[in-house]
Amino acid sequence: MRCGESMRGSQPLRRQAEEQSLRARALIDKGVGRAPAHCVPAPSATCKPGGVRVNMKRIAFVAAGLVFSGTVLAASLPGPVVNAAWLADNLKDVQVVAIQSDPSAFTAEPVWRTDAKTGARSLVEANGHLPGARLVNAKQIRTDRKIGDLTVKYMVPERAVFEQLMQKAGLQADRPIVLVPLGQDGAELDDAARLYWQLKYFGEDRVAILDGGLAGWLVDGREINTTPPDATPGNWKAGPERAELIADSNEVASSKAQLIDARALPQYHGLSKRDYVYAYGHIPGAHALPPEVRLSTDGGVARFLPAESYRTILGQSGIDPAAPAITYCNSGHLAAGAWFVMSEVVGNRQVKLYDGSLHEWTLEKRPMEGIARR
């Protein structure tokens, strides 16, 4: 983060800087102390007790570095999920990224309904964006990949391609990222979880999701804009792929890890399926963790649950919250939501996402189980 930007940051960050300054000064005072009478230091130096000479200019420079470095003044994300109050306080010190599958929503006005009797307003359609937000189209962050002789859809792009996508959207390399979905249903939270997973897969750790997304921000009465997205490119860089976050078909077939099916229960049981999945049911032995148990919805706003609630739900679903797991769905979208819950909110770092999911699994004609179909 640039020094000028940091000093224009929010009150909480300025207080953080002042506290760091006081701690740095205390360390200097403690380490240097008063110069003994027998020590006559040079103008730029003082003496520690015992006559040890210390360069005060250098110490002051280091202390200033502690205070003004990006490490201290950069917004420190409180966790993988941030609330609207925190983001409002730190808006100038993070980069806000709207993740939307319909880019027209970025410049549209929100739609509200007013109760004729009470006059109370309720949110019908979350549109617009937070001030200064960049836009990422959720439909453009995945791509077709060749796996053997098969073409598998909806996969994570190659490193260079994803980096180019993020730079085109304007992401910068010097600020934490807060992803803002529309936030009215679980699929929109999963849009953010999918981009979060891809950013993590390519080495980005300074990323979080706004709980409740744009919908929660609007319901709180906070400011939004409807201006077109800024076309200025960014300089974000993708790092090496993190193999510990992704699973392929062979690993799913041979692994002893828990398999987590993130789809709706009718699909899990084989009552219905998507057209790009070529068999009914679920991967043998998989546990169901459907979308409706991964969030709460109130007043048209979808929010994450506390970690302890997720641990309870996982346990009641026959899933060990602390054991290795692989999440999947139809294409890797809903699976990202389950991965986010287990890995980031609950804190189980032994969770992988099966990127090809059932689209790839059934293309390869691997086994499925479910109810008998006539």
For residue 50, the model assigns a pLDDT of 41
Lookup: tokens for 303: 């929010």
For residue 12, the model assigns a pLDDT of 46
DSSP per residue over 214-278, as a string? HHHHHHTT---B-PPPP------------GGGEE-HHHHHH--SEEEE-S-HHHHHTS---TT--
- DSSP lists the bridge partners of residue 297 as 302
Give the three-class secondary structure for 338.
Answer: helix
**In this predicted model, what pLDDT tens digit does every residue of 204-226 receive, in sequence order?**
999 999 999 999 999 999 999 99
Provide CB contacts within 8 A for 372, sequence distance 6+.
none
Provide CB contacts within 8 A for 320, sequence distance 6+.
258, 314
pTM, 2 dp: 0.81
Q: What is the number of other CB atoms lying within 10 angstroms of the CB of residue 88?
A: 14
> Are residues 134 and 97 in contact, defined by beta-carbon separation less than 8 angstroms?
yes
For residue 373, the model assigns a pLDDT of 62
For residue 75, the model assigns a pLDDT of 66
DSSP 371: S
> Are residues 191 and 100 in contact, defined by beta-carbon separation less than 8 angstroms?
yes
For residue 28, the model assigns a pLDDT of 35
**In this predicted model, what pLDDT tens digit does every residue of 41-54 receive, in sequence order?**
333 343 333 444 44
Give the residues of the chain that fall short of pLDDT 50. 1-73, 374
Q: Give the separation between CA 268 and CA 144, rounded to whole angstroms.
A: 25
For residue 60, the model assigns a pLDDT of 38
For residue 23, the model assigns a pLDDT of 46
Cα 242 to chain centroid distance, Å, stands at 16
User: Which domains, ranges and CATH numbers included, belong to the chain?
Assistant: 3-73 (no CATH), 81-219 (3.40.250.10), 243-363 (3.40.250.10)
Provide CB contacts within 8 A for 338, sequence distance 6+.
260, 262, 289, 294, 327, 329
For residue 372, the model assigns a pLDDT of 67
For residue 140, the model assigns a pLDDT of 97
Dihedral sign of CA atoms 155, 156, 159, 164 in order: positive
Q: What are phi and psi of 291, to 5 degrees?
A: -55, -35
